[in-house]
Amino acid sequence: MIAKATVGLQPAPFFLLPPSSIPPPVSIEERQQEEKAQRRRSIVDAAEAVLGRMSMENMTMADIASEARLSRSLLYVYFEDMEDIVLAVTLRGFEALAEQFEAAVQAHDAGLMQIRAVGEAYVRFAHEQPTYFDLVARFEARSADPEAATDRERACLAAADRVMTAMTDAIQNGIDDGSIRPDLDPTETATMLWGYTHGLIQLMANKETGLKQQYGINPDALIDRGLDFIGVALTGTSPHPAPNIPTEAFVAEQGKD
Amino acid sequence: MIAKATVGLQPAPFFLLPPSSIPPPVSIEERQQEEKAQRRRSIVDAAEAVLGRMSMENMTMADIASEARLSRSLLYVYFEDMEDIVLAVTLRGFEALAEQFEAAVQAHDAGLMQIRAVGEAYVRFAHEQPTYFDLVARFEARSADPEAATDRERACLAAADRVMTAMTDAIQNGIDDGSIRPDLDPTETATMLWGYTHGLIQLMANKETGLKQQYGINPDALIDRGLDFIGVALTGTSPHPAPNIPTEAFVAEQGKD
DNA sequence: GGCAATCATTGACACCCTGTCAATACGGGA
DNA sequence: TCCCGTATTGACAGGGTGTCAATGATTGCC
């Protein structure tokens, strides 16, 4: 990760600065702000590292503090409580996910392919960044109070919106280019698909071994099949000219075999 | 709630029993077992009642004990810890859900209708028994160690299996009666659908207000649309004879508008 | 009925975690 | 060098958990 450079404000040449200075900031106050932000970042880094090796329920403030080599009290200066810190890590997770989704959309032309790629990106995300995935899942499982949201919660919701937007765009593209049936509402469908894929991937992530040994299910194959399944629904015709639902009489007839 | 009657073992008429006796048990040891079970049940009742008015994170052993009018220490005699108690409530949730699913399947003849009814039953369940739904969702979000499972965890998994079986049966019925396309594997498809519907309903349950005010989405309508969507995928043809994916050239052409 | 044994129940304790606050250390400006 | 505001910390109170020895109740036996 590369820290974002301060744009449009050139620092003095390094050979004019006292040795302890850090390049970008100019005024003292500015440097103090920068240091504060840096400290905040290092706390979030520490929390992320700890979450890489233990679950959230077991993590304590002391764990984070010792990982960051700070006193526990200091964490409360920079963050409300542990929930606040965890939300900061969660925000990183959502942002990483949004980037993956946006890249997936850009990598293809046809809308249907873009949606498929988004699904595959989410599978990869869950696999390669399990810490982030767990945090995103946890956030999705929380009931979000509409108005009464923290700044940090709002930031997560905004990043989640980027995720949704990527999917909405892909669906709109698909409708425009004819690869997705036109009777779908892009926003509504994106929401549905988000719920679907999240649900399926969460199921796979958590019940993988159980499903494998109890039902003989191959997780990767199932996910593939699941994405195919969504593809069928996206291309198929509207459900309202009802499909082949047999009459009760027909079913009774079948039952005689 | 009416306690299940002990079948096939008639108690003595109540006027022949000493006033303190409880009808069914015969031997003393048997009665002690029954009392033990009753106490366990009353603890789970208490936990369920408490969960009806506060979230799991906020609940404490003291809350459960006071609701059950027992000392906190006693809870540890009957259960390992709070997790154990909560799992017992979760088991009730899974069993209630399984009953709903089985009833939904029995209420219809055509497989596709059965699956639709199962979906609607799940929506109703989430709406009418939110405590159970939250517990089921929490259980689904936990990574289940395959072998290293508590007895109580195993019981939950068994109840979850009933849920899956109801869906598998419905899909098999649908394939047999022609209302569902025959190239689907029932078990695999049931797993997929469970993940999908759970994901969608969880999304709706938690983000309802947010989606409503940010995207103008009507939750109930979205769920309906979502079940339609699944219906399309269940009836549609196999994806492998690929749908209308436009060539890159075609897309480029479209882009010129 | 009385007594010993067994079981159910409880209060008290030690430990851990959280969140706060007064006290201390640090660094810039006069 | 000293003063002042900020950063940092140790120590504390409060509350939750899980355990254990002590107490109370019930049963089996005489």
Please tell me which residue, A6 or B181, carries the higher pLDDT value.
Answer: B181
Residues B208 and B165 in one domain: yes
Give the contacts of B96 (CB within 8 A, at least 6 positions apart): B125, B129, B132
How many angstroms separate the CA of residue B76 from the nearest CA in chain A? Answer: 21
pLDDT for A116 equals 97
pLDDT for A23: 46
Identify whether residues A70 and A89 lie together within a single domain.
no
Ramachandran angles phi, psi of A182, nearest 5°? -80, -5
- Structural tokens at position B96: 């209630």
Which chain B residues are Cβ-neighbours of A215 within 8 angstroms?
Answer: 164, 187, 191
Average pLDDT over chain A, rounded to an integer = 85
Do B194 and B130 share a structural domain? yes
pLDDT at A124: 97
Report the gap between the CA of A88 and the closest CA in chain B (Å). 20
User: What is the structure's pLDDT at B147?
Assistant: 80
Q: Looking at beta carbons, which residues of chain A come within 8 Å of B226?
A: 192, 195-196
Asked if residue A45 belongs to a domain, the reply is yes
Whether residue B225 and residue A194 make contact (CB cut-off 8 A), yes or no, is: no
Of the candidates A38, A32, A36, A132, the one whose C-alpha atom is nearest the C-alpha of residue A91 is A132
Domain membership of residue B202 (yes or no) is: yes
Which two structure tokens, joined as six digits, stand for B107?
Answer: 């209420």
User: Which regions of chain B are under pLDDT 50?
Assistant: 1-25, 238-244, 257
Quote the pLDDT of residue B239.
44
Query: Is the C-beta atom of B28 closer than 7 angstroms to strand D?
Result: yes
Mean pLDDT of A139-167: 91
Q: Tell me whether residue B67 is in a domain.
A: yes
Torsional class of A22: left (φ above 0), alpha (ψ -120 to 50), beta (otherwise): beta
Residue A72 shares a structural domain with residue A106: no
The reported pLDDT for the residue numbered B238 is 45
In a domain, B12, yes or no: no
Distance from CA of A80 to the nearest CA of B (A): 18
Provide, as residue numbers in chain A, all residues whose Cβ is less than 8 Å from the Cβ of B217.
187-188, 191
Which residue range is the domain that position A107 belongs to? 81-239
| Residue of chain B with shortest Cα separation from A219 | B188
Residues B139, B107 within the same domain: yes
Number of domains in chain A: 2
A98 and A159 in contact (C-beta within 8 Å)?
A: yes
Nucleic strand D near CB of residue B56 (< 7 Å): no
Region A2-12 average pLDDT: 40
Asked if B191 and A110 come within 8 Å (Cβ–Cβ), the reply is no
Residue A40, both tokens: 């905040």
Per the listing, tokens 């040449």 go with A13
A10 pLDDT more than 70? no
Q: Is the pLDDT of residue A65 over 90?
A: yes
Task: Give the DSSP H or E segment for B153.
Answer: helix B151-177
CA distances from A210 to A213, A214, A256, B158, B162 (A): 5, 6, 36, 11, 15
Task: List CB contacts of A157: < 8 A, sequence separation 6 or more.
Answer: A144, A149, B210
Asked if B32 CB < 7 A from strand C, the reply is yes
- Six-digit token pair at B47? 């936990």
Round to whole Å and give the CA distance between B239 and B184: 11
Whether residue B70 is found in the same domain as residue B186: no
Give the pLDDT band (50/70/90) at residue A11. Answer: very low
Cβ of A28 near strand C (distance < 7 A): yes
